Structure 1
Amino acid sequence: MKMPSPQPNFAIAWWSAADYSAQATAILAVATFLVGLIGFVGITWQIGRQAKNAINQNRLNEASKLKLEIYKGILETCELASSAEIALSSYLRNFQLEIRTAGNLHAMGRPFNTPTARFLELSELRQAATVAAIGVITVVERWHVVDGRMSIFQDAINSAIYDVNEAADLVQALAIRLMPMDDPGTTNPLPWNLPTGAEAKQLKASADLFYEALHNLGYYVADFQTEMQALLVGDLFGNGVITREPLNPSAKVIRLKDERALRRYFRQETSWGKATALLMADVAAQYPAKGELSRLGFTPFGIRLVREQAAVSKRRLKRMGLRP
């Protein structure tokens, strides 16, 4: 059987028949086309890459703006808390100074002025300091999504507030007896007697505990500001943040990197942590059955949460040697 002869390739046939100038023109045309194609592909790829980079950069810019806004709010809240803590401690220190000054003048047989401090003003300053500190906790809760470790500041500040309130109760129990009172409806002070030496010493002992608790609260708020500065705006400037280094080795510095160890400390070793564990165990003891919790309006999730927390609290109490 005779095989069919192959058909000549048109391009090869044309190339063989074409003269030198036609071949050169063809080569130039093909080269121009290829250069144009490569340029088009390159430009398209470059535009796509630039668009992607622009989107990423815009995302980074918006994230940086948000971080700055968050840090600005944190800074304002921390400043309010710090100012309230200083105002409270300064008010009590000024009262103690007025007592000492009056005592010295009295010892010299000279007249002295009635102290300007009043119990109602001290109570208002205490309330303002507590509200300002709770404001820091609120900020932590609001921006917990930034870094889950931030919740350690909830534990630290709650613990500090607990200690401040315990010490403040002792101070105010003395202040209500020792501070002058005004004539009802006026700003004229009623007759006031100097505290005795024993009363002054008792006030000093209670006030020293109060100042220590207040200072711890202020330190924890400052630690929060420092850690948020590093977390939120540290990468904008490329500089590290100097953290607090107390002279007392037993004092706690709240750092995000130490979150686990600090959480164990605050929940197991502090007065606040032990009181919280006792409270949760007491709730579990009062409402042991799911039906009782349901009647109180707890959702199934809430019931499970209460029971799980109660079990955790019981284990903590056992480790601490306490009983609910």
Structure 2
Amino acid sequence: MRVDLFDFALPDELIAQRPVSPRDSARLLDVSPAGFGDHVVRELPKLLRAGDLMVFNDTRVIPARLNGMRAAGGGRQKVAVETLLIRDLGGGHWLCFGKPVKRLKARDEITFDADLQANVEAINADGSIVLVFDRSGADFLAALDRAGAVPLPPYIRGGIADARDRTDYQTLFAKVDGSVAAPTAGLHFTSELVAALAEAHIGIANVTLHVGAGTFQPVRVEETEAHTMHAEWGEVPRATAEAIERTRQLGGHIVSVGTTALRLLESVACHNDGSIKAWSGETGIFITPGFRFRAVDLLLTNFHLPRSTLFMLVSAFTGLERMQAAYAHAVARRYRFYSYGDCCLLHR
């Protein structure tokens, strides 16, 4: 499909720069076959049914944006280096975006902090680099917590994070370190809302998908078939797989909280002829209109960028024309867009 089919106009003032408080006071647009309904997130228990199961992504955002200095040597001067971690390759090795990549060479040493240094192991054809840090595991995460910054997307204050973002850009469910972007649909939940869902007999289960920096990357091709997704690591625990299958057998809906959880569940369904089983591995699934959904019945998600893979995904889930109409409704009603913005509940 042509990428320009997924374009739309959005006034800059509708791009949220901070989340609302409390989190569950964000607005929610219910996009159902009956039409559009304007609500707030704390009304979710009334919009779902007893016996439904909500599936959250429990990944935790790491402070993946690092500023460092390439060491001088061999007639070369010191150079300031900006780095965004993409994916943990194990043993202190990380795939990263680096800037200015043209000034870097293999074996260059970069100092990010007194407690954190790395060497350039490789520079890839796509412009990404592989860094080998001087520590790994818990020691690396502790040093990263001191030296790194929250990797906000560029449409939020130019990507410049402050102290508030350390908590604002983390969900209530975050527990597994590894993401460089938040699963933003989960940002709307409070402990009070979780308690209300339990009282309404709506279940909760967790999966893990470490969101990669590919979420920041624009689609630069003209046809969707030419776009390649970055692979991301995910896991569906056995307890979650069993809860999903049990919910289906009893006639309940599977409600994915965010596109990341949906991509993981649909990946697993593709591997298992529609059923959900315990699974871990990498997925590069790219969902566009025509995709056959077999795992998720409803999707709670924020409003996404034009021409993005995520707007393509929601258009596949609910229909391109219906999503275009829903976004036009949201713009007219002054909903807040993107990571810190409002959300919609989509029916398949």
Interval of TM-score (by shorter of Structure 1 and Structure 2): under 0.3
Please give the TM-score of this superposition, normalised by the length of structure 1.
0.23
TM-score (norm 2): 0.21
Bigger RCO of structures 1 and 2 (CA < 8 A, at least 6 apart): 2
More helix per residue: 1
Quick check: which one's strand share is greater?
Answer: 2
